[in-house]
Amino acid sequence: MSEVIERHESEPAPLKIADVFPGQGFVPRELVGTARGLFNSPKAERVLTHIDAILGPIFPGIRVFSDLILNGSEEEVAQLSETENAQPAVLAVSMASVAALEEFGQEVESPFAVSGHSAGIVGALWRAGALGRMEALWLARERGEAIRDAKKGRKPGAMAAVTNREPIDIGGLEKICSEFNVELVNLNSPMQIVVSGRLEDVVSAGAGIKFAGHRVTSLSTSDAFHHSELMKPAVELFAKSVDRVKINDPKVPVYLNSTGQPLAMGRDITRFLPGEIAKPVDWVSVVNNMKARGISAFREFGHGSVLTGLVKRINPDAKLANIGSIEQAKSQPFQ
C-alpha cells in the first residue's frame, strides 16, 4: 500500500494550461498564409468557411472570406487590416487553429483558464463556452465596426511601443505622456508598454520618452485610439451589440484585460466587456494572476507567437506552445 502511495506522490501534477488568443496586430498576407495552410485540416476548413456567413461579401470581386484566403490579390488581402475585417478574420484563424488541434492533437488537455489580448478576448469567451462560434464571429465584427465608427471625424491617431532592457518606470512614463495627452494603453510586459494618442501628440511625447532613455517604435495600426479614453463612443456602440447576444457562464475563468482578474459569470462578462475597449490592456497582471493560481503553461492559438513571447518576459518559467498550423497541432510541444 505504501509503495502505491509513494508512486502516486512521485507523479508530476497535471499542467494547468491557459489558452490565449491574439488581437489584430498582424501582417495581412501572413495571416492569410496561416489560414491557407489550415485548409488542409477538414475541421479547420469548416471553421474558415463558417465565417462567410458572418462577413458576407467583403470586397468587389471576392465573394466571401474563404475565397479571399484562397484567391485574393495582394491589394484585396491588404484590406484585412481594416478593423472591422481584422477582428473577425483573426478570430476565425484562431478558431481554425483550435479545430486543427482537436483533429490532429494527441490527448488534448482542456484549458484551466482563458484570456485574449485586446480583440482576442472574444476568442477567449468562445473557447470558454460563453459564446457560440456564430455569436463570437458576429460580435468580433460588431466590435470592429464600433471602433471604426467611433474614429470618424477624429484627427489621425498613432500608437508607439516603448521598450527598455530593464523594467520601465510606469509612473515616470505616465508623467511624460500626460504632458502631451498621450495614454498608456498596453502594458505588454515589464519592458514593453504601448502608448496612444493623436499623431502629433505621440510624436511630441516620443521625443521626451527617448530622452528618458527608452526606445520608441511607431506601430502600424488602423485603430490607433484603441484602449484609450477616446474610444468611449465605441463602448456605447458595442454595448448595444453585446446586449443582443446571450453570454453564458464560462466553463473556465476568463481573465479580463483591464483588471487582470477572472470572471466566472456571464452576466458579469456582459457588464464589463464593452468597457474594455476604452481601458488599457494589463497583460502583465493577466499573466501574473494566472501564475498565482498555479497556471504554468500557455497555449496561443492563431497566427504568430506574440502573446507567448510576452508571457515569457513576464513569467520566464512558463511552458509555451503555439498552435497556428497543422504541424504545430500534431506536435503541440510545450517549450
Task: Tell me how far apart the alpha carbons of residues 290 and 288 are, in angstroms, rounded to a whole number.
Answer: 5
Q: Which residue has the cell 516603448?
A: 162
Which residues of 108-234 form beta strands (DSSP E)? 113-116, 157-163, 183-189, 192-198, 215-219
Residue 118 known to be catalytic: yes
Under 8 Å between Cβ of 255 and 289: yes
C-alpha cell at 239: 454595448
C-alpha cell at 189: 510586459
Query: Which one of the listed residues 117, 214, 226, 227 is annotated catalytic?
Result: 226
Task: Tell me how far apart the alpha carbons of residues 37 and 302 are, in angstroms, rounded to a whole number.
Answer: 12
Q: Which is it for strands 254-255 and 113-116: parallel, antiparallel or unpaired?
A: parallel
Residue 117 known to be catalytic: no
Query: Which one of the listed residues 66, 81, 115, 118 is annotated catalytic?
Result: 118
* 228 phi/psi in degrees, rounded to 5: -120, 170
Using a 10 angstrom Cβ sphere, with 0-12 exposed, 13-18 middle and 19 or more buried, the burial of residue 244 is exposed
Task: Tell me how far apart the alpha carbons of residues 331 and 326 are, in angstroms, rounded to a whole number.
Answer: 9
Which residues carry out catalysis?
118, 226
